[in-house]
Structure 1
Amino acid sequence: MPYQQHTAKKMARPTGNVRWMVVGLCFLGMVINYIDRANLGVALPGMAHDLSLTPFEQGLALSAFFYAYAAFQFFGGGLADKFGPRAMYTFSSLWWGALTAATAFASSMLSLFGVRFLLGAGEAGAYPSCATAVGRWFPKHERALATAIYDNGSRVGGALSLPLVILIVETMGWRESFIITGILGLLFAVLWIKFYRDPRLHPTLNAEELTYIEQGGARPIDPATEEKISWLSLFKFRAVWGLMLGSFSLNFIAYFFITWMPSYLINELHFSLVKVGFVGMLPPLTAVFGGLFGGWLGDHLVRRGVSLSVARKIVICIGMLAGSSIALAVFVPSGAWAMALLCLSYSGIAFCASNSGSLCLDIAPTGRHVAAIMGIQNGSANLAGIIMPVVVGLLVGNENNFSHALMLIGVFGFIGAFSFIVIVGKIAPLTRAKRVKVADAGANNEITH
């Protein structure tokens, strides 16, 4: 069916809630995904001692995941569109579970780099699968909140990884922490493939909820009405490049919290490992509420009649500017104030991500392009995962001084705000007709040469 533009004001909420169960499972998958991903950052102090890793080598180990993750995002999005979220999320979770467990057998910098690289390749299908599932199951006035819910899995997973991994490391060892958390990914694959179906194929979805989903602007697959736009043609749109730069900037801040934050708390703020296990949970947990509030606010503005562009950009701009507050941690007099700023920064990023993460649904030309654009967006975002850990490792150096690193990270809040607000332009589905029209007019939605 063609992309619907119905408003939420004219639609009563249905009695069914299967769509929220779907996004709840997406959330659970992302929790496990990020426990597995963040495991290394938590276990790294002990691993660095056993494997004799320098700060620079630690940065390389942290970034190895993102070399494959960023590259495979670009292709994983297209695969999620082609094979659907049921097959793609199942395959991805099986892969990342097995590779997380394999990390336990790393014995050198080279083997650790290799297994983390392969782990990144396996996890690349997770976010595009969630985005495609939300696109097929949610009307446009519920997208931001649904996006915030599954995206919050990253914060909850990051928060849970601290006490969980520290407990396992302290009682068993860092190798056992990877085996135990890897098993979680394998169990999730079984749960997902048993429950998930697209709306028209789901056995428990009633007709009322299906109508609500489709008439509200969900992005189903409909070859009869879809405009043919190739994957490469997506790069002709200025909005896509704005998403890429904005998402890179957002993740340049966000990935500090799941890579270098434990080392920052231990080496700069002089917290004990046990204290890090509890205090380190505060930024990701406060970010959960920031993400939910940002998702609710974005959808609330749309339901109140605010245009999609204005609603999304209000939330995105506030969130990115709040994210830049991490730089102020350099100037505060105590660890308590630094923690407060870390909480504000991470909450701001989550507040922004609830709406920036739904942009792939808002601008996708058709339902077949949702995961492709998410893959492009998230692939660009995770280039920050390659660059940021190494840059921070170089700036921190052997003296473990994080001042210059935190100030650099804060700058990216302003770069991201500019990218999402100015470069992306009007938020609306991209079309060939718009490309031609925009190119002729020299306006905002396509790059002209």
Structure 2
Amino acid sequence: MNILDFFKAGVDQPIIANADQIKSKYSKYRKEILATIITLYGFGYTCRLALSVVKKPLIDGGLFSIVDLGLVGSAYFYGYALGKFLNGFLADYANIKRFFTFGLITSGAINISMGLNQSLTLWVVFWFLNGWVQGIGAPSCAIALTNWFSPKERGWYYGLWSTAHAIGEGLTFIGTAALVDYFSWHAGFIGPGIALILITFAGYRFLQDRPETLGLPSVTDWKNEENVKKVSKNFKEVLHNQLKIIRYPSIWVLGLASATMYVTRYAINSWGVLYLQEGRGYSLIEAGGLVGLNTFTGIIGCIAYGYISDKYFSARRPPVTLMFGIAEIGSLFLIFYGPQSTFILTIAFIIYGFSLSGLLAVLGGLFAIDMAPKNITGAAMGFIGLFSYIGAGIQERVSSVLIKTSQADINSVKIYNFDDAIIFWVSASIISFFLALSLWNHKIKD
């Protein structure tokens, strides 16, 4: 067996004749798969966000400048953009159980390596590679969802899975921040790396390949859902459809909407802790707690978005996007331009986390997989991911330069001004909002 055969999806097996046995297996596997992809993807996030927590210790220790850290951060996002795009195409042919866990274990090992050296060149290379293997995760999880959950229930379960983003961010901004505060910046990489490797090995047994490889009917056949187009498993036909998806103008608009949303998302994730420390005078634990708070409220936002759009709008996403977008932009103005009060800031971060996570669920993937045929889910996710993380990478570099150029030296102490960067971040959300609304009546047909 060569390495490609190891990662390739299994062969379809004869369908089990016993209906009760099919129901029992579907019930068991669906619960295990959903719980496992939420857990593993959530812990995977701690190995992509460690840099956000350790920036101030690295700057204060003279190890790297703010522009150096912007370079390292952007390397991750460009690696993730390419990785998610190419791995999304590969994931359509892969055994997700093996492909997904390979990416997580490799990411954990890279994080441990980051904590053991201080070379800027190696950091850029390692963080780029980390982005690449992290790009396996989202397409793999999206394919698991489309393989095991039908289109009519997809919004609800996609929303549940999307809580993993918030769980991982919360673990980082609270848990990793505590590790860094108690030990050192090294622990911010090494601790999450070890934890991810261990939990991935533990979760491996609960993941599964496609239902058909286990002798089960497709989920749409099992659910007896009508008007669901059968999709080809033929390599040439799948590849043809994968390439065809990029000819739809709406996919490009969705990609731009996601890219600009990711500017704001990762501005808060990457620079939010430093902003609260430098601009508002909070400690690392306090700043991490505030940013972490928004991620935990994001869990509710993800679930609410999927539930509301499925139950009250017949799986139409744009009306709910309108409501969440208004709330997200309003919360940003409150965070950056509202009263200088911890109470107000806390409320603003709660609203921001709730609304942004809903937007993340739809613009970062749900709308794309609604548009795409089932057998090219990975390609659709990869295409949107390419846009999203190029946007995040541009944000990282531009933000670091804007913050650096606004820097002032007072009595040999560097004072950072975030005003120009904040304008950039808020403007990106406004642009994303209007791009998303332009898709109000559009849906690609299978």
Q: Which residue matches 2:366?
A: 358
Matches within 5 A, 1:254-265: 254-265=265-276
1:59 to 70, 79, 100: 70
Distance 1:236 1:422 in 2: 18
Amino acid across the alignment from 1:312: R
Q: Does the 8 Å CA contact 2:147/2:219 hold for their aligned counterparts?
A: no
Q: Does the 8 Å CA contact 1:147/1:355 hold for their aligned counterparts?
A: no
Q: Which residue matches 2:443?
A: 427
Q: For residue 117 of structure 1, give the secondary structure of its aligned residue in structure 2.
A: helix
Q: Which residue matches 1:330?
A: 336
Amino acid across the alignment from 1:107: Q
Q: CA deviation at 1:424?
A: 7.5
1:341 aligns with 2:348: yes
Q: CA deviation at 1:147?
A: 1.6
User: Gaps (5+ residues) in structure 2?
Assistant: 1-22, 408-414
Amino acid across the alignment from 1:273: L
Q: Describe the shift of the 1:57–1:17 C-alpha distance in structure 2 as closer, same or farther (beyond 3 A).
A: same
Q: Which residue matches 2:139?
A: 128
Amino acid across the alignment from 2:367: L
Q: For residue 347 of structure 1, give the secondary structure of its aligned residue in structure 2.
A: helix
1:179 aligns with 2:190: yes
Q: Which residue matches 2:118?
A: 107
Q: Does the 8 Å CA contact 1:252/1:388 hold for their aligned counterparts?
A: yes
Q: Does the 8 Å CA contact 1:93/1:189 hold for their aligned counterparts?
A: yes
Q: Does the 8 Å CA contact 2:181/2:284 hold for their aligned counterparts?
A: no
Distance 1:405 1:23 in 2: 38
Q: Which residue matches 1:272?
A: 283
Q: Describe the shift of the 1:233–1:273 C-alpha distance in structure 2 as closer, same or farther (beyond 3 A).
A: same
Q: Which residue matches 1:382?
A: 389
Aligned length: 408
Q: CA deviation at 1:338?
A: 3.2
Q: Which residue matches 2:148?
A: 137
Q: CA deviation at 1:255?
A: 1.0
Q: Does the 8 Å CA contact 1:140/1:216 hold for their aligned counterparts?
A: no
1:223 aligns with 2:226: no
Amino acid across the alignment from 2:188: S
Q: Which residue matches 2:36?
A: 25
Distance 1:177 1:227 in 2: 41
Q: CA deviation at 1:51?
A: 4.7
Q: CA deviation at 1:202?
A: 4.7
Q: CA deviation at 1:298?
A: 1.1
1:164 aligns with 2:170: no
Please list the CA deviations of residues 8-29 of structure 1 after superposition, one character each: whole Å capped at 9, or x if unmatched: xxxxxx7836424312211112
Amino acid across the alignment from 2:383: I
Distance 1:18 1:259 in 2: 36
Q: Describe the shift of the 1:217–1:417 C-alpha distance in structure 2 as closer, same or farther (beyond 3 A).
A: farther
User: Gaps (5+ residues) in structure 1?
Assistant: 1-13, 431-449
Q: Which residue matches 2:211?
A: 199
> Over the residues paired in the alignment, what is the CA RMSD in angstroms?
2.6
Q: Does the 8 Å CA contact 1:269/1:335 hold for their aligned counterparts?
A: no
Q: Describe the shift of the 1:329–1:216 C-alpha distance in structure 2 as closer, same or farther (beyond 3 A).
A: farther
Q: For residue 436 of structure 2, give the secondary structure of its aligned residue in structure 1.
A: helix
Q: Does the 8 Å CA contact 1:135/1:218 hold for their aligned counterparts?
A: no
Q: Does the 8 Å CA contact 1:33/1:154 hold for their aligned counterparts?
A: no
Distance 2:381 2:366 in 1: 9
Q: CA deviation at 1:210?
A: 7.4
Of 161-170 and 22-31, the range deviating more from structure 2: 161-170
Distance 1:297 1:123 in 2: 30
Q: CA deviation at 1:230?
A: 4.3
Q: Describe the shift of the 1:278–1:218 C-alpha distance in structure 2 as closer, same or farther (beyond 3 A).
A: farther
Distance 2:388 2:421 in 1: 19
Q: Which residue matches 1:46?
A: 57
Amino acid across the alignment from 2:337: F
Q: Describe the shift of the 1:227–1:33 C-alpha distance in structure 2 as closer, same or farther (beyond 3 A).
A: closer
Q: CA deviation at 1:112?
A: 1.7
Q: Describe the shift of the 1:227–1:411 C-alpha distance in structure 2 as closer, same or farther (beyond 3 A).
A: same
TM-score when normalising by structure 2 = 0.84
Q: For residue 105 of structure 1, give the secondary structure of its aligned residue in structure 2.
A: coil
1:418 to 429, 434, 437: 434
Amino acid across the alignment from 1:411: S
